[in-house]
Chain A
Amino acid sequence: MASFQPMHAQDKLAFLLSLVPYLMDHDRVSVADAAAHFGVPPEQIRQAVRLIAVSGVPGETTQYQHDDLFDIDWDAFEQDDEIAITHLVAIDESPRFSAREAAALIAGLQYLSGLPEQADRDVVGSLMAKLSRGASAAPSEVAVGSGDLDEALATIRRSVATARSLAFDYLNARGERERRTVDPLRVESLDADWYVRAWDHGRQAVRTFRLDRMSGLDVTDEPASAEGRDVVLPETLFQASPDDLSVELELSEAALPLVDDWIGGSERRRVDPDRVRVTVRLAHYGALTRLVAGLAGLATVVGPPDARATVERWAGDALANYATGGGSPSPATGPAR
């Protein structure tokens, strides 16, 4: 998980105000432990402690006398890399959340409200109430509707909890169906789409599976293999591969965010005031037709020619379904693959 790195003075202030009550609750804590707890580099803790130790209030003399300042056990800090606050000033409790901070966490919780971790009781509801009570004003009206999360999640979790492999039928985007046996490593999501990354026994490699393409899920009797355990998963869900196809798209500027995942570092070449060309990288033409057909009127394939032809054929085959007339139960035409 990415570590928290304060950038703005506001974030640094929030960090200082949070570190004080934490240190107060721990008579003596190592810099390493504090860093691990807050998920920040040790040097960030040291810098904050140095600042806290010389800070305070103007006091009666308005001169920041010794008693008006925080103090720490300097020997322990300098020699043992340990923090012990010996004198407190003004604050001793954690600060409240702002209305926006509470709202951001609440909306995140709502998004996760269908996870098996919280299926048995209303953890989210109780947490939302706590966050609202801990906020300085009513959380703002930003909300995420509870999606019905895929039932596969519970089975995936059971596979991990019992350290047994998971088997399922999987239809990949090329249209190939196969029974796969895997050890799940991480569940990921992108908006309404959920994925699991897993060590695939057959491929002897990590593969990403879309939950809504999995069927017939079973936790097997086979113990999870050791190979997957040490794999370091990349941060991004979609990785470019040297075998990817490069396709040039022309699209309106407003549609650019919709193809964001496939653009990578491609430069944008402007063709007229509101149309740009970008190169997208995709694993195969199956993914291209999906992408472009969902953006009909917004994006057009410029090249290469066989990519254009593939999209045209895909659209033509689809239209042929409709040429047979309004909803008559004709057998589906065999799609060209």
Chain B
Amino acid sequence: MDLCQSTIHQAAELLRRREVSSVELTRAVLDRIEKVDSRVRAFVTITEDMALEQAKEADRRISDGTAALLTGIPAAIKDNMCTRGIRTTCSSRMLENFVPPYDATVVERLHAAGMVMVGKTNMDEFAMGSSNEHSAFFPTYNPWDLSRVPGGSSGGSAVSVATDATIYAIGSDTGGSIRQPAGFCSVVGLKPTYGRVSRYGLVAFASSLDQIGPLTKDVTDCALVMNVIAGHDSRDSTSLPYPVPDYTESLVPDLKGVRLGVPKEYFVEGMQPEVAQAIRSATVVLEELGATVDWDVSLPHTRYGLAAYYIIAPSEASANLARYDGVKYGFSVKEAENMWDAMEKTKGNGFGPEVKRRIMLGTYALSAGYYDAYYLKALRVRTLIRREFEEALKTVDALVTPTSPTVPFKIGEKLDDPIQMYLSDVCTLPINIAGVPGISVPAGFADGLPIGMQIIGRPLGEEVLLRVAYAYEQATDWHKRKPPL
């Protein structure tokens, strides 16, 4: 096996036994990036020199006995998390040359654990999109079929993991942006409970929905990364002040006594039959592992999730993105008649089409005369959706659904049809609306294209998700397949 193909736990074992050094491991990953990135375009910035410096430092820590489990392991960070001294673009012209003066809390925690950062990954501009086609720089390509999208908005992070161009990656998820690309690329992606991971230093898109989480090669790695990034942060007042368990304790290979439910509303109209079939087959495996599966769970307001989400998220975005006025940082147009003209030109030229569309949509929903009918109505529907999850998760421990209604679609296929693009998040966005955790794990293929299974839990129910995901993974081989690159 090539070193770059290692999982975190495999690489950590090799480092601990001194069979390889972090510099060798990092070199292997950087060589892999060199080999594949021109074809898949997962990275906006590759931080080769810094990575090798960090690897040397990690080797020093390993030899003097002060290493942590993640010490010396290469990682890729989505380009919407602030990295001190390394530009953080959000894949937008607006922040193309922005170099943050501080690290996001997640980045700070990973650095303290000895991360070797190999680069910043491509994404839909400001995390608004489901295909990575909305990057202002270039699209990212799905390694399973280069004519297809990798999903989004954490598409670069998912592709870097799937192609062994990193050992693990960090993404963010506002309506499915970790899980949907994880499903499309056949890797593991977890969106934790809202507030479980600090958002400090994450460039804000929709603050009541945004959450950071890991994208990894297997479920064990997901637990290992969560052990480092989860926890309270006084710099994020929405971060939850509850103790963090050792997530690796959830990794047991059977599901005796676990009650699972399959909500029928998630098998939506227009769902690809192979996707529905893959999830049905997966539930058989879950039953064989000891779980009970209830097929009568119902979440009747699911059908309103899409509309509620695409009112709430753009409304919050239209407020959050008002800060890009060309004064304090970011793109700035100087040739203008006056202050207002400068601001209009800065935003008009700095933002791409999808970001503009959402700013306009959110502004509409918040504007006088429409606030009650759209924004407030969406927040009330949000309550109903949240309550429905609460009710359903009283009788079962976790819910099982497809991650996406289809396998990865063709590049360009939905680019000019916003509604069709938004529908690709239909199975993932209710989870953000309710604030509960969700994980996507590899669950099969249709004509060589990946299918993801989503497992949804109670608030702070990450341990149950990891247990179900781990047991399923141990009983199947999907996660071991590599894209034909």
* A and B co-occur in one complex: no
Chain B residues near A (Cβ < 8 Å): none
